[in-house]
Structure 1
C-alpha cells in the first residue's frame, strides 16, 4: 500500500483518512484470502495509518496535520460504518489491530485518544463489531493502557453525562465479551487505595446487576480462551474474580476512611448505599466460585490452573493490614463499629478463600501462608483458613441472588436460621465435624433498605475459626 501515499498527500485530512480506511479494508481482505499464516499487516501500511489517520508527523521537520472536532466526529462515524459493514470477523480484528495495536512510539498517544472516542461512540450507537474488537484488544494489551481505556468509558458514562449509565449497562446482552473485559479493567483500575480509586456508585450498581443477571459473565474470557498456563504478567487477569474479591473484602474499611464526615448515627454518607451492594457482590462472587469445578474439569484444568494468584493475595493482605491500622486510628468511629467492620472484612476474606480453595480457583498447600510481615492477616487469618477444613456452602448454589425481587423465596432467604455445616465433599449427608454454635450476626445492612434483603449466608453462617485482633 506504500504507493498510495502520493495520492493521499493532496487531500484534506478527513478525505485522506477515509480513503486510507477504504484501501486498508481491501488490503486486509486480500491478505486473509491469500491464506498467509499468520496474516500480518506490513510496516509500510502501519506507517500510513500513523500519518493519515493518527496524524503523527512523518519526520521532525514536517508539522503534523490536525482535524477539527467536527472532522474527528465524522471520522469516527466513518470508522463505525466501516467495521459494521465488514462481515468477516478476521478482517475486522486485523483492521482494528492495524489501527490501535500499540507500537511503542509517539503515535501511541493518538491511538489511545482515538480508541477511547471510538469505543465510547460504539457503546452509544450499539456498534457490536467494534466492541468485540475492543474486547480482544483489552485481552492482548498491557494493563496500563487497558485501565486508561476503562477510565475514559467510566468518565463518559458514569461521571460526565448524568443519566447515561443505562446506555453502558445495555451492552451486557449485546457484547458479553466486552463486558467481561471491561469489568476486569475497572477492578484493576479501582483498587480502593484512595478516594479517587474507589468505584463510583453508578458503576458498582451496574456491575452488580450484570453479574446477578448472569454469573457466568465474569468467566467468558476464560471460557473462550485457550489456556495452557498463567497469563503474561503485563496483561489483565483472565477473569475479574480477583479484583471483585478485592473490592468486597476491602470495602467495609476502605469506605470508612477519613474522606466523609460521620453522621449522627456514626455512619458515613455513602455507606448505606454501598454496604448492601458490596454484600450482594460478595455473594455473587462466591456463587461464581461454585460454578468452577465442572468448568475446570471439562477443560481438564482442575488442580492445574489457578484463577486467583498467590501474588495478588499477598498484595491484598498487605493492603488489609494498612486498612486495619488506619481503622484503629479513626477518632469519629466508635471502637464497636471499627471492630465490627474489621471483623466483616476478615470474615469475607476467609469465606472467599475457603470457597475458592474448595472449588479449584486457588491452588496452594495447606498451612502455606503469604510471605509478608503483616501480623494480623498473615498469622491469624491465612493460617486459620489454609490450615482448616474445607467448608462446602450448599446454601449458596442457586439463584436468585442478592436483592432480586424473588430473593424472599430463595433457599438462602427462606432458611435463615438453619446454617450449613461443613460436610465431606463426597458424602454431603454425613457431617465430618461437630456442629458449631452460630456467632451473632453482623449488623451489616441498615433496616432502612428493605429493597436489599439481608443475606443469611453473610450474617448467620457459623464460622468455626474466629480471627483474633
Structure 2
C-alpha cells in the first residue's frame, strides 16, 4: 500500500497508484469526468460496509489501520471525493451501531486533520441518523462516550462548529444537546482529550477543527438565551412550551460544565509547560461571538420585550462575562484588557461584564517562570517587558485590628486562583 509517513497531525501517505485502484474498484469513480459514476446496489453497498468493518476490526496494528483509512477516505480534491464522503458517513454510522471502536479511532484522526467543511458534513450525517431519522436511536450514539472518548470529543467539536445558532436549521436538536450535556457532566475532561493526547505545534491549520470544543460550547451557552427567542426560532418556541422549558436548564447546566472544565486548565497547562504560552480560546473566535451577540441584542431591542424575555439579554451578557473571567483566570484566554474592551465595545452595558473589562491587568500564575521568556504573549504582560528593581526597604508591620465584618473576608479580584462563583441560570 505504499510507504508509511505519518508525522503528527498529517495523514499517512498513500502512493498515487493505490489511490487510483481505490477510486476505480471501491468507489467506482470513472476515469473520464464526462462518464457518470457507477452506483452500487443497496445490497452491494451493505456487503462492502460489512467487509470494511471486519477488515478494520481484525487488523491489530493501528498504523496499518490508519494507512488503510487514509487510502480510502483522505480527500484528494477530485471527483471521487463525493463518493468518499458518502461511504465514510455510512461506515462511521455503522461503526457506531455495531460498536467498531477501531473505525471510530480512525475517524477521530480523520476529523483532526481534515478541513472543517467536511468534518461538519460527517457530523450532520451522524446527527441525522441518530437524532432525527430514527426515533429512539439516541442511546446508541450515547455509547460512543465510553467506546471511543477521542472520537466523542471530535464529534462534539464538529457539531458545535456545525450548529452556530444563527438559524433554525443550525440549532442543535434537543436530543443531541441532552447527550452532550450528560457526556460532559459525567467526565469534564472529555472535551480536553484531543488536546491532552495530541503533540501540539505552532502551525495548527486554521481550516481544521479547533483543538477543543470549548469555544463552540461557550458560543452555544452565550447565544442560547437570545437565539431561541428570535423570529427565526418561532417553529421551536411555538412547538411546545415544555420543550422550551427543557432547553433553558440544559444550557445552564452546560454553561456550568464549561466553567468547570476551564478551571481544570491551570494544572494541565502547567504540567505541559504551556501555561501563559498557549491559548485554547482564540481572540478571532471571541470577536466573532461578540459580533453575533451584538446582532442578536439589536434584534431583541426591535421587539417589544415581554416580562418573561426582558432578562434574556442580561443573561447572555452575564454568561459572556463569566466565561471571559474564568477563561482569563485559568489561562485559556491570553489577551490584554484593552483587546477585550475593543471586541466588546459594541455590547450594551452589563454590570458583571463591566467589572471584568475594567478589572486589573491579568497576571499569569507563573509570570516569573523562565519559560515565559519564550511566550509569544509576553508583550501583553506589564511585568515581562520591564527590568526588575531592587526591593524597597521593609517597614515594621502595622498593628492588626479585628475586622468589623468578619463574615466578608477580603478576596482578590483576579489572581488565577480558584474562587467561588455561581453561573447565571
CA–CA distance in structure 2, aligned partners of residues 420 and 45 of structure 1: 69
Report if the CA contact (8 A) 2:53-2:103 is conserved. Answer: yes
* 1:105-124 CA distance string (max 9 Å, x none): 11100000000000000000
Structure 1 residues 378, 222: CA separation in 2 closer, same or farther (over 3 Å shift)? Answer: farther
Structure 1 residues 389, 421: CA separation in 2 closer, same or farther (over 3 Å shift)? Answer: farther
1:377 Cα shift? 5.2
CA–CA distance in structure 1, aligned partners of residues 360 and 342 of structure 2: 22
Report if the CA contact (8 A) 2:116-2:158 is conserved. Answer: yes
Find the counterpart in structure 2 of residue 423 from structure 1: 412
Aligned with residue 115 of structure 1, among 88, 93, 97: 88
CA–CA distance in structure 2, aligned partners of residues 112 and 379 of structure 1: 45
SS of the aligned residue for 2:337 comes to coil
Report if the CA contact (8 A) 2:359-2:413 is conserved. Answer: no
Residues 1:457 and 2:418 are matched in the alignment? no
Report if the CA contact (8 A) 2:181-2:254 is conserved. Answer: yes
1:228 Cα shift? 2.7
User: TM-score normalised to the size of structure 1?
Assistant: 0.74
CA–CA distance in structure 2, aligned partners of residues 50 and 184 of structure 1: 29
Find the counterpart in structure 2 of residue 65 from structure 1: 38
CA–CA distance in structure 2, aligned partners of residues 343 and 117 of structure 1: 43
Find the counterpart in structure 1 of residue 234 from structure 2: 260
Report if the CA contact (8 A) 1:390-1:422 is conserved. Answer: no
Residues 1:46 and 2:35 are matched in the alignment? no
CA–CA distance in structure 1, aligned partners of residues 134 and 360 of structure 2: 50
SS of the aligned residue for 2:157 comes to helix
SS of the aligned residue for 2:310 comes to helix
Find the counterpart in structure 2 of residue 345 from structure 1: 316
List gaps (5 residues or longer) in structure 1. Answer: 1-26, 392-417, 432-454, 461-469
Structure 1 residues 63, 254: CA separation in 2 closer, same or farther (over 3 Å shift)? Answer: closer
Find the counterpart in structure 1 of residue 8 from structure 2: none
List gaps (5 residues or longer) in structure 2. Answer: 6-10, 363-406
Report if the CA contact (8 A) 1:310-1:370 is conserved. Answer: no
* 1:410-459 CA distance string (max 9 Å, x none): xxxxxxxx999743777979x9xxxxxxxxxxxxxxxxxxxxxxx98125
Query: Counterparts in 2 of 1:42-191, with a 5 A limit?
Result: 42-60=15-33, 64-191=37-164
SS of the aligned residue for 1:376 comes to coil
CA–CA distance in structure 2, aligned partners of residues 97 and 203 of structure 1: 29
Structure 1 residues 354, 428: CA separation in 2 closer, same or farther (over 3 Å shift)? Answer: closer
User: TM-score normalised to the size of structure 2?
Assistant: 0.81
SS of the aligned residue for 2:159 comes to helix
CA–CA distance in structure 2, aligned partners of residues 330 and 100 of structure 1: 48
1:232 Cα shift? 1.1
Residues 1:250 and 2:223 are matched in the alignment? yes
Find the counterpart in structure 2 of residue 385 from structure 1: 356
Find the counterpart in structure 1 of residue 278 from structure 2: 305
* 1:81-113 CA distance string (max 9 Å, x none): 000000000000011011000000111000000
1:375 Cα shift? 2.3
CA–CA distance in structure 1, aligned partners of residues 321 and 163 of structure 2: 22
Report if the CA contact (8 A) 1:150-1:185 is conserved. Answer: yes
Structure 1 residues 135, 459: CA separation in 2 closer, same or farther (over 3 Å shift)? Answer: closer
Structure 1 residues 39, 353: CA separation in 2 closer, same or farther (over 3 Å shift)? Answer: closer
Report if the CA contact (8 A) 2:57-2:102 is conserved. Answer: yes
Structure 1 residues 167, 222: CA separation in 2 closer, same or farther (over 3 Å shift)? Answer: same
Aligned with residue 190 of structure 2, among 203, 211, 217: 217
CA–CA distance in structure 1, aligned partners of residues 207 and 61 of structure 2: 29
1:365 Cα shift? 1.3
Report if the CA contact (8 A) 1:317-1:377 is conserved. Answer: no
CA–CA distance in structure 1, aligned partners of residues 138 and 341 of structure 2: 39
Report if the CA contact (8 A) 2:322-2:423 is conserved. Answer: no
SS of the aligned residue for 1:339 comes to coil
Residues 1:361 and 2:361 are matched in the alignment? no
CA–CA distance in structure 2, aligned partners of residues 63 and 288 of structure 1: 50
Structure 1 residues 421, 310: CA separation in 2 closer, same or farther (over 3 Å shift)? Answer: farther
Report if the CA contact (8 A) 2:294-2:347 is conserved. Answer: yes
CA–CA distance in structure 2, aligned partners of residues 159 and 303 of structure 1: 42
Report if the CA contact (8 A) 2:164-2:171 is conserved. Answer: yes
